[in-house]
Amino acid sequence: MTEVIIMNRWKIGVAAAVVVLTSACSPSPENTAEASGAAEGIDIVVIDDGIGSLEPPAGDQNSCPGCDRWPTQFAEHVTQATGRETTVASYRAEGVPEARELVSGDAAARDVLTDAEVIVVATGAFNSLPDPDTGIGCPGELPPPSEYSDWARTTTPTCLAEGVRTYGLLYDAVFAEIKKLRSGKPTVYVTMTVPNYNIDVAGPDSLLGSVDGEQRAWAKQFAVDANERWNAMLEERAVAAGFAVADVYHAYNGPDGGVPAGHFDAGGGHPNQAGHDAIAALLATVDLVALKD
């Protein structure tokens, strides 16, 4: 069973007014906010692969301790835009299969999602580079990083496309289950394209960091092509499902996808402050009209 972690919960924004009523006809809990003139709060849920953790694990210097993290910045933006108190929670899903398991099989997470007015799906970066160990798409066994490009050269356009198509069906299931949980209630749905960490030579776990100079040009193009295929699929599936798309990929990697993401990366795919700020800026453009009805 995949471990799913709720990282933390934070409350942002205005405090609701409190009215003490002594009448025998005191309002029920469901009607208290309406009777007092206070707007109900907004719950934000982030499903992420580590890019959206609300606080770094103890002692993990790659998770940007002390950073003003994008989920918190986004919550502050939502409060400013709506005047309503905002609570944000983050659940860990390392990949798209884990996200599907979370939304379909974790009872506690499903309860939280059912009550969330804003839901952000930010996972898939660890699936975007083809991996034969998944059994999806191209066959084989995952070799050591130094031999990955040798395996990659045996792939074909057909098997690469099949892998992306299969993950697309998993995204469809994630998006559909989230919307089913919300049952048509006003909701802001958001997903993020995934950045490419594999074209930074300085990255210890990157594809380019694990191959020699003669292979780097080919390996970089392979990684760029993989992310282009992935993010085109993700955007298509998200739009079809009614999700807004925050294009983190091009914000991090440039318009052609070929710029290393190191400027935004604290290590291991965790944003540094520039990365958090870039994502928060993208989310600030998301239409929040559903929260104002």
Span 238-282, pLDDT tens digits: 999 999 999 999 999 999 999 999 889 887 778 999 999 999 999
Per-residue pLDDT reduced to its tens digit, 46-91: 999 989 888 766 656 567 888 999 999 999 999 999 999 999 999 9
Pairing mode, strands 265-267 and 118-122? unpaired
Cα dist from 40 to 43, 194, 207, 287, whole Å: 10, 33, 47, 19
- Residue 216 burial by Cβ neighbours in a 10 Å radius (0-12, 13-18, 19+): middle
At 20, the amino acid letter reads V
- Assess contact for 194 and 227: CB atoms under 8 A: yes
Whole-number Å distance between alpha carbons of 206 and 269 = 10
Instruction: Please provide residue 70's backbone torsions phi and psi, each rounded to the nearest 5 degrees.
Output: -65, -35
pLDDT value at position 252?
Answer: 96
Whole-number Å distance between alpha carbons of 49 and 138 = 23
Superfamily of domain 6-292: SGNH hydrolase (3.40.50.1110)
Strand extents, DSSP E, the chain: 6-12, 42-48, 86-92, 118-122, 188-192, 244-246, 265-267, 270-271
80-89, 142-151, 194-203: least confidently modelled range = 142-151
pTM, two decimals, is 0.86
User: Which position has the token pair 């559909």?
Assistant: 176
- Assess contact for 121 and 178: CB atoms under 8 A: yes
- Token pair, residue 56, equals 């770094």
Pairing mode, strands 244-246 and 188-192? parallel
